Chains A and B, each alone.
Chain A
Amino acid sequence: MSLAYYPGCTLKNHASHFEQSAIRAMEKLGMPMTEMKDWVCCGTVYSQTTDDLMLQLASIRNLLRAESQGIDELAVLCSMCYNTIRRAKDFIDSDKENLRKVNQFMYKEPLEYTGKVQVTHLLPILRDRITFEKVKEKVVNALTGLKVGAYYGCLLVRPEAYAIDDFEDPSIIEDLFTALGADSRAFPYRLECCGAYQTITRKDVTAKRTYELINSAWETGCETIVTSCPLCAFNLDQRQKLAQETFHTFRTMPVFYFTELMSIALGGGWDEDWVKLHEIDPRPLLREKGLLPEVRS
């Protein structure tokens, strides 16, 4: 059984290790992923004003194209794409007038949009379709002793109607890592905002957020943070440099996409090329835990 997925813009460049590791991990779990064709940017952020149908078009265009490719369920990897597409779908599907208007913009598409495609994130698929028991059975390289802090951020759990788990006290990523053999630790700031796009407009805000979030993870005994959002990953990993310049007591921490560690645990391996996409080199931690077999000098 194959799983159709929507990668989104950043998984083709700055977060290509997210996509590649997800492909490896899902292959090992017996549910290979197929990329949907002709996708476009989803718009990254859901527009919350009531009168701007225009800003929903990109997300809907993706769903229309998925529909015309015979896809029933579209798995999204990036938290932001998931949230944007899912909410745009509901906004349009719930109102016939919106649906009619949106279809008028789709005159160049082969079919009309009807709203048949279901949108879901990769994590609920792992929990509900594959199940964590099965994931546990497939582990060949358990993450024993690795203290992992799951960072949910905003868009996996808010608004409540679109949360992939309990919106105030989720455990889906922790449960996944427990199944992978890791020591999952819920750190207090795991649901807090990372500063998002303020990373350009208000660097001071982002530096402080990164400092507080990473500190909270250290204080809970985590050695690394895992996320599924490329924007959070950028703020939490790449902006640690900024946090270090601003706060001299700051201690850096490697940050992973959850799929990277999944790939290691399930025998899909970890690619040396992925180091370039990390700001804080995760190799010392992986070596310490015996998770990086081939050591290059």
Chain B
Amino acid sequence: MRYVISRKKMHNPLLQKLQELSGQNVFDCYQCGNCSSGCAVVEYMDIKPNQVLRLAQLGAIDEILASETIWICSTCLQCSSRCPKGIDVSRVMEAARTINLRQRIGVVEPTSVSQEDLKDVPPIVLVSVFRKLSG
């Protein structure tokens, strides 16, 4: 992807928010790519987990918030368990989702669940989807 680096963007207040909400220091990342190579659903992501961290370092939070990636991540914690620098990558994903969800962006509405799914799926699915994706 194409991204123009600028000093102004590096001071993006949303970066601080992302780090606060996740409790992670994104500048710890040295781009080894372990998170992306272990991810079970990486093929569906438009930007890879290591790229999310690089973009965060550059202050490109809007790019992260607009990505498909943060919604594809289902918090399996493989990335977090393998990061040699101890970054909990899944917390960064969750923080990005949370920033969106608190502005009602990406919220899964209960009415969007099909009748067929409502009949089939166990409560554990419904509770987890609404806990994760309703803000």
Contact = CB atoms under 8 A, between A and B. Distances in A.
Contacts of B80: 158-159
Contacts of A49: 21-22, 91, 94-95, 98
Does more than half of chain B's interface fall in helix, strand or loop, or is it mixed? Answer: helix
A192 interface: yes
Given A159-B81, A193-B78, A200-B117, A205 B124 contact: no
A94 interface: no
A209 B127 contact: no
Contacts of A44: 124, 127-128, 131
Interface in A29-79: 41, 43-45, 47-51, 55, 78
Given A13-B123, A192-B40, A158 B128 contact: no
Of B41, B94, B108, B126, which is in contact with the most chain A CB atoms at under 10 Å from its CB?
B41
A160 B75 contact: no
Nearest to A8: B124
Nearest to B68: A202
Nearest to A15: B122
Interface string A67-106: 0000000000010100000000000000000000000000
Interface residues of A, number: 42
A48 B24 CA distance: 11
A285 interface: no
Interface string A149-172: 000011000111000000110000
A58 to B, nearest CB: 10
Given A158-B77, A202-B72, A234 B121 contact: yes
B31 interface: no
A43 B72 CA distance: 20
Contacts, number: 125
A10 interface: yes
A180 interface: no
Candidate in A9, A13, A50, A78 with the most chain B CB atoms within 10 angstroms: A50
Give the interface residue-count category, chain B.
Answer: 35 or more
Contact of B21 (A45, A50, A193, A195): A50
B50 to A, nearest CB: 18
A9 B128 CA distance: 12
Contacts of A47: 94, 131
Contacts of A193: 40-41, 74, 76, 78
Contacts of B81: 158-160, 167-168
A196 to B, nearest CB: 4
A216 to B, nearest CB: 12
Nearest to A192: B40
A48 B75 contact: yes
B133 A201 contact: yes
B125 A231 contact: yes
B113 A234 contact: no
A231 B127 CA distance: 11
Contacts of B22: 48-50
A169 to B, nearest CB: 12
A231 B128 contact: yes
Nearest 10 A/B pairs, CB to CB: A193-B76, A14-B122, A158-B77, A196-B74, A154-B76, A197-B129, A193-B40, A10-B124, A44-B128, A48-B94
Given A192-B78, A201-B71, A202-B71, 20 more contacts: A8-B124, A10-B122, A13-B122, A48-B88, A49-B95, A49-B98, A50-B23, A158-B80, A167-B81, A191-B78, A196-B75, A197-B125, A197-B132, A198-B41, A198-B72, A200-B125, A209-B40, A231-B128, A234-B124, A234-B125
12 contacts: A9-B122, A13-B122, A41-B123, A45-B131, A47-B94, A48-B90, A50-B20, A51-B21, A193-B40, A196-B75, A197-B125, A231-B125
